[in-house]
Structure 1
Amino acid sequence: MATGEWELREEDDYEFDLDNPFTSPADEPIASLLDAEGHHAPSVSAAASAARRDAAAFISKVRFGGELAVHPRVAYLALNYVDRFLSKRQLPCEQQPWAPRLLAISCLSLASKMQRVAAVSIADIQRDEEFMFDEASVRRMERVVVGALEWRTRSVTPLAFLGFFLSACYPAPSHPTQVAAVKARAVDLLVRAQPEVKMAEFSPSVSAAAALLAAAGEVAAANLQAFQAGVAACPFVNSDKLRECGEVLAAACGVGPVRAAASADTPVTVLGHHRSASSASESDWTVGSAANGGGGEAKKRCMGPPSHWG
């Protein structure tokens, strides 16, 4: 492996499907998802919220960047990586204010590889930035990110739970068009709400349930009661968390409140477990500058994390 480079592991050597993060057909879907979400659910602290906001703003700018825009699912996965990283590491933003942007760029590059789309152009997405990161710096940061994620790059996100909840609420495929419309709207709501930092406080399963209830209320109002009953029957969905998540999602997307039906006969628990965050030493970050080769005003070039981070 060349210096400053990293490679996807063999099991990730094909396109990662956000709706189905597993590689083995033998996996039992919901049991495996619930077991995995505790390792993948981010929990961004208040101290990291500023860094998260800066990274999210850059990813959003790239997503809507006209001819340079990235696919929405690449942007979605990239911000998921940002959240998971910040759950485990802290960025020295006061000393290195460019650190959140380096994290965002590296997560965008990593997400594009996982989604098997056209590679993100490191130079193009930084076209209007004062500070520029070169390829080597971004590759080093990618190694830092995948290390912090413990190489679990096939993220378990709320999108992975949509199929399960839809099958629970629609046990018979009698309304395929309506089911597809509800799912599409739920995906849209999740993507739109993701930049809201409070969404990172909820487990993927709870976020998926809240999005589906909101979508059903808009797209399939006549069957909303069936959706509410189906979600309430799931023993792993905490009704209080579901209500809170629905309120955050509604505020972020400008939709009506999510109504969750509670079942007196069904115990509710949350199975997600957040791992404790570990801080990165401020001395592990360095910054240098060099003149840009192009004409006009010189741009500063940031060196990023040192090679020993890998």
Structure 2
Amino acid sequence: MEFELEDPLTSFQDHQSDTVPILFTSESDHMPSQNFLISLKTSDSLASFRREAISYMSQFARNLDPFVPYLAVNYMDRFNSKQEIPQGKPWVLRLLVVSCLSLAAKMKNTPLSLSDYMREEDCIFDAQAINKMELLILDALDWRMRSITPFPFLQFFLSLSKFQDPTLIQALKRRASELIIHALNEIKLLEYKPSIIAASALLSASHELFTLQFTSFKASILTCEYINKVVGGCRRT
């Protein structure tokens, strides 16, 4: 069954209001560790490794559903939070990227031909090597692959607004999703919970697309008991 990023807890059901508290209380479990964030800020080599990995991933995922590489980066960041990555070995980066993409594609039930990744310059990855790396990632993540990302919070925050026009709502949701995906490389965003990123993306999308309604839309989002002043800082990131 395909894993829905917009409904990670009950992918086979419509949005359920009673799942919202669970999303908010569980989202921190699907974020990188604080030690990893500190290392990203203080280690040029680790930050460079992440940028290069995302760049490498985007090259091979450009024809895929954009949610697949987003999920793959979530796996990669969480894995790197628990495992020290050897420096100066490009093949390790490539193998990690390919394996995270493979796992994300499986979760999203998206066809992915690993033959495109088996040979990269002088590095050869066979199916056994990729499968072994996948198991290492799964073990490090305690097999918690149904990641909670910003996307399930978009519909919730939109439901708090007074917007009734389905076209307007879809435009906001689509633009907010684009902003979230395009900001994937921003290290500072890793400091914020997925819900904060979602709220900030919607506010930015609203200000961009429907300026006159921005103030009322912002007020509706800030009525949420789970949201605080952190949203403003995230928007400025």
User: Aligned partners of 2:68 and 2:180: how far apart in 1?
Assistant: 14
Which residue is equivalent to 1:110?
103
Which residue is equivalent to 1:81?
75
User: Aligned partners of 2:47 and 2:225: how far apart in 1?
Assistant: 31
Which residue is equivalent to 2:197?
207
- Tell which deviates more after alignment, 77-86 or 37-46: 37-46
User: Aligned partners of 2:164 and 2:116: how far apart in 1?
Assistant: 47
Secondary structure of residue in 1 paired with 2:124: strand
User: Aligned partners of 1:133 and 1:27: how far apart in 2?
Assistant: 44
Which residue is equivalent to 2:233?
244
User: Aligned partners of 2:169 and 2:20: how far apart in 1?
Assistant: 19
Alignment deviations for residues 270-292 of structure 1 (CA, whole Å, 9 cap, x no partner): xxxxxxxxxxxxxxxxxxxxxxx
- Going by fraction, where is helix more abundant, 1 or 2? 2
Post-superposition offset of 1:22:
0.9
Unaligned runs of 5+ in 2: none
Post-superposition offset of 1:114:
0.5
Over 3 Å counting, the alpha-carbon distance change for 1:62 and 1:233 in structure 2 is same
- Tell which deviates more after alignment, 185-194 or 79-88: 79-88
Over 3 Å counting, the alpha-carbon distance change for 1:28 and 1:129 in structure 2 is farther
Secondary structure of residue in 2 paired with 1:123: helix
Q: TM-score, normalised by structure 2?
A: 0.88
User: Aligned partners of 2:19 and 2:154: how far apart in 1?
Assistant: 11
Which residue is equivalent to 2:94?
101
User: Aligned partners of 1:99 and 1:85: how far apart in 2?
Assistant: 13
> Contact between 2:200 and 2:235, CA under 8 Å: does it hold in 1?
yes
Which residue is equivalent to 1:141?
133
Larger Rg: 1
> Contact between 1:55 and 1:82, CA under 8 Å: does it hold in 2?
no
Secondary structure of residue in 2 paired with 1:98: helix
Matched, 1:152 2:144: yes
Matched, 1:176 2:171: no
User: Aligned partners of 2:184 and 2:201: how far apart in 1?
Assistant: 11
Q: TM-score, normalised by structure 1?
A: 0.68
Which residue is equivalent to 2:29?
39
Alignment deviations for residues 165-219 of structure 1 (CA, whole Å, 9 cap, x no partner): 111123xx62211011000000011111112222222110110011000111112
User: Aligned partners of 1:157 and 1:100: how far apart in 2?
Assistant: 23
Cα RMSD, aligned residues only = 1.9
Post-superposition offset of 1:53:
1.6
Moved beyond 6 Å, runs of 4+ = none
Alignment deviations for residues 24-43 of structure 1 (CA, whole Å, 9 cap, x no partner): 75782220101210110224
User: Aligned partners of 1:72 and 1:107: how far apart in 2?
Assistant: 14
- Tell which deviates more after alignment, 73-82 or 20-29: 20-29
Post-superposition offset of 1:152:
0.9
Over 3 Å counting, the alpha-carbon distance change for 1:62 and 1:150 in structure 2 is same
Secondary structure of residue in 2 paired with 1:81: helix
Which residue is equivalent to 2:4?
17
The number of equivalent residue pairs is 226
Instruction: Give, as a single letter, the amino acid of the residue that structure 1 aligns with 2:234.
Output: C
> Contact between 1:37 and 1:204, CA under 8 Å: does it hold in 2?
yes
Which residue is equivalent to 2:86?
92
Matches within 5 A, 1:261-280: none
Matches within 5 A, 1:45-60: 45-46=39-40, 47=43, 48-60=46-58
Instruction: Give, as a single letter, the amino acid of the residue that structure 2 aligns with 1:245.
Output: C
Instruction: Give, as a single letter, the amino acid of the residue that structure 2 aligns with 1:20.
Output: D
